[in-house]
Structure formats: C-alpha cells, structure tokens
Structure 1
Amino acid sequence: MNKTVELVKLWGDYEDQHPNGTIEDFCRHHLSLPVKDEKRIAQEWQLLPDINGRLMILLRRIGKYHMVYSNKALEGTGLDQIEEFGILVTIFNQINPIKSEAIYNNIIELSSGTNMLIRLKKRGLINEYPDKEDKRVKRLKLTVKGEETIKVAKDRVLKVAAMMMHGLTDEDKQLCIQLLTPINERFDGMFQKQKNKTFEEIFQEMM
C-alpha cells in the first residue's frame, strides 16, 4: 500500500475513535503503539511493573546515569556533585534567594540542603547576609569564585546533557519535554508542603 494512502487510512481510523483528537494526539498515539504491542514472556516468580512503573524505572535509570556522569564531569571544578551545581545556579538565577528557596527549588531535604550550603560557604563559593526587611532571614549570594566556578561547571554539565541526549532529534526532545512538563508542573512546590503527610494522604490529594 502506498505510504500516503496508509497514513490517510490510519488517520481515518483514529478520527473515528477520537473525533476530537488533534494531529499531535494522533502522532503521540502511533508513537506509543510499539510499546502497547510489546509482549514479554516472564517467569511466574518475576515481579513485573505496570506501564506506569516501567516509565518511572526508565526515568529513574536515566536520572541515575545523568547523576553519575555529571559528578564525574564536575571533578576538578570545586564542586563535588550535581546538586551543588543546581544550588549555585538557583542562587544566580533567582538573584540572592533565601536559604529555603534555594534548597527546595532543587528538591532537597532542608537538613541536607543546609549542610550543602555550609560546605559551599566554607569553600568560598557563596556568602549569606541578612534580609533587609526581616533580619532573621538569611539571603544567599555567589562570590566571585562561585561565579567563576559555575561558568566552568556549566560547560561540563551541558556536555553531559548533549552526551545523554545524543541520537535523539530535536523533535524527539521537544516531544519528551511536551509530554513530561505537565507532570513536573503538577508536583512542583508540593514537596515541602507534603513532608508531614502520610503517603496515603498524599496519594489521595494528588489523585
């Protein structure tokens, strides 16, 4: 069958089942078909995740690869881990945020983030000073050394990102961003608000 004719037929079938579907929905639908049709033969004792679990495992593994290679790339920059780079970038981009803002923006526990800020301060990468309106609140600022450090680190972090995404087209990357951004937006800012709730309470709230 001519590919154009086949495409029109596929669109017609999709439109019959999804009369309000867009072309973008149609493309995403067909991109997902190989996953839906995939058949796996497993031993009875194996614990296999559902499609939600499979996606989260994939994202988690990619995230761990990224962390390992990023930490290696940061060797010799004055930073020990990618979270420290994230903290410095937040301080730079948000223009002298308070401590909790810098910590929670990077999805880090308050105690761990506070210890990280202490280490960065000892290395001479950041300074803190009282807020003008509330002297009890401390704001953060990069030192000259801190600014120089993130400039060097940024180039290495971007190289890691390019390596991780190598092989995907810009269209593929944009599609991934489009699909995953709503998930990030849904959970953004919830981390610290839900820290004293049980998982079941959080589950009911988010579902």
Structure 2
Amino acid sequence: MENSIDDLLDLIHKWKSFRENDASGDAISFARWLLNREGAGQDAEKSVVENSKNVIRTYQSPDISNKALVGYLLGRMNMFVKNYAKEPFQKLGVASIEEFRLLALTQRLKNPNRSEISNEAMMEFSTVNDMLKRLEKRGLIAHEKDENDKRASRVSLTPKGKELLGKIFNALAGMQPKVTGDLSDEEQENLVSLLMRLNRFHTHYFETEFKKKK
C-alpha cells in the first residue's frame, strides 16, 4: 500500500512538472511526455495513460487530494518518529513510544485515574491498564486511592518515573535527525500552529461525535 501511494505521489509531482511546461496538456499528452522522458515502450502506453487519467482526476479535485495526502503524510511522520525513537528508548529501557506517552500523560494530567489516561491517550482501557501494571512493577508509577471514589485509584509518577521521563525528553530533544527536519524557525511555528488547530478540531469531534458512534 505504501509503495503504491509513493508511486502516486511521484506521478502527481511529474504531472505538476508537465503542466508547468504545458499548461493546456491533457492525459494523453502527459502519457506521451512520460514515455519519452522514461524511454518506455509502446506496450506501457495504455497503462501510463490510464494511470495519468487517475492522477489528473485526483489532482483536479484538490480537496480530495489534500485530505488523502495530509492523512498519509501525518501517518508517515508518525512512523518516522517511532523508528527514530527506537534506539534512544531501548537504551533507556523503554519498551515503546506508548509507554512514554503514558508516563508523560500521568505527569501532565496530575494524578489522573486510569480512565482519564485511557481517554487522553485514545487507547483501549484494557491495554492502558496492562501497561500501567507493567510500569508499576518497574517502580515508575504508583497507585493511590481516589478520595472521591473508593473503587478507583489515582496514578502518579514515582521519583524513579520522573527521572526516567526527564531522560526521555532529553533523548528526544537530541534525536537525529530532528523531527522538524530543515524547517526554519518561522516554518516550525506555522506548522505547530496548524497542527494545534487540527488537534483542537479533532479533539472536539472525537469527544462529541466519534465516541457516540461506537
């Protein structure tokens, strides 16, 4: 699936290059341009023409195209981060980026209960509960009774957990390559602003609409 999307993105970029040189060009002329450029034989012409038409249909519907690309690229960035973080996490004894998320959420939410962590992490309660048990066995978190609900418990970081979380943040700050790549400071600020806007939109939708459908 990923390879096919990469091929589609490559074809879209080629279509843009083609239109820069021939603003009135159609799918057939684009296919011939590709064939001449890449030295393909006549047997490939029908396939190239059909693929070109599909790309043009997508490209000429920018709303559809952009939605697909944004989702794909955000997912791809997430995979980059997971791969880049593997080595520093392993050195610190952190099993996964999800463990880091739970530790960070426990600190940020200030003594949350397990349901609050599950909701904020957007993970199944049973999965979060199992992970919290493992973190507790390692001495990274502690449970204490909830004064308002005797059946529930509150989660907090132990001194060992706080120390580990600090080391993780330092490791991520020094991670190479940086997640922001070669973006300038201004570009980074613009990106953060847009991502925060998307986060606010989806947080509201997730809480008010999506959960009701489940």
Normalised to the residue count of structure 1, the TM-score between the two structures is 0.69
Offset, 1:70? 1.4
Task: Select which of 116, 131, 134 maps to 1:119.
Answer: 134
Task: Select which of 69, 81, 98 maps to 2:84.
Answer: 69
> Structure 1 residues 187 and 163, CA, compared in 2 at 3 Å: closer, same or farther?
same
Offset, 1:109? 2.0
Aligned: 1:38 with 2:16 = yes
Q: Which amino acid in 2 is paired with 1:38?
A: K
Which stretches in structure 2 are left out of the alignment for 5+ residues?
1-12, 19-29, 32-47, 59-64
> Which has the larger Rg?
2
Q: Which residue of 2 aligns with 1:102?
A: 117
Distance 1:166 1:58 in 2: 14
Offset, 1:139? 0.5
Q: Which has the higher contact order (CA 8 A, sep 6+)?
A: 1
> Structure 1 residues 140 and 68, CA, compared in 2 at 3 Å: closer, same or farther?
same
3-state SS of paired residue (2:179): helix
Distance 1:52 1:39 in 2: 22
| 1:41-56 equivalences in 2 (<5 Å) | 43=48, 44=50, 50-56=65-71
Aligned: 1:185 with 2:200 = yes
3-state SS of paired residue (1:160): coil
Distance 1:85 1:93 in 2: 12
Distance 2:148 2:172 in 1: 36
Contact 1:130 1:138 in 2 (8 A): yes
Distance 1:112 1:192 in 2: 20
Distance 1:111 1:195 in 2: 17
Distance 1:146 1:115 in 2: 17
| 1:1-207 equivalences in 2 (<5 Å) | 38=16, 43=48, 44=50, 50-160=65-175, 163-188=178-203, 190-191=205-206, 194-195=210-211, 197=213
Q: Which amino acid in 1 is paired with 2:213?
A: K
3-state SS of paired residue (1:74): helix
Offset, 1:104? 2.0
Normalised to the residue count of structure 2, the TM-score between the two structures is 0.67
Contact 2:102 2:117 in 1 (8 A): yes
Distance 1:107 1:190 in 2: 13
Offset, 1:168? 0.7
Offset, 1:166? 2.9
Which stretches in structure 1 are left out of the alignment for 5+ residues?
1-34, 199-207
User: Identity over the aligned pairs, expressed in percent?
Assistant: 28
Contact 2:114 2:125 in 1 (8 A): no
Aligned length: 163
Offset, 1:131? 0.5
Offset from partner CA, 1:57-77 (integer Å, 9 cap, x none): 111101110011113221121
Q: Aligned Cα RMSD in Å? A: 2.6
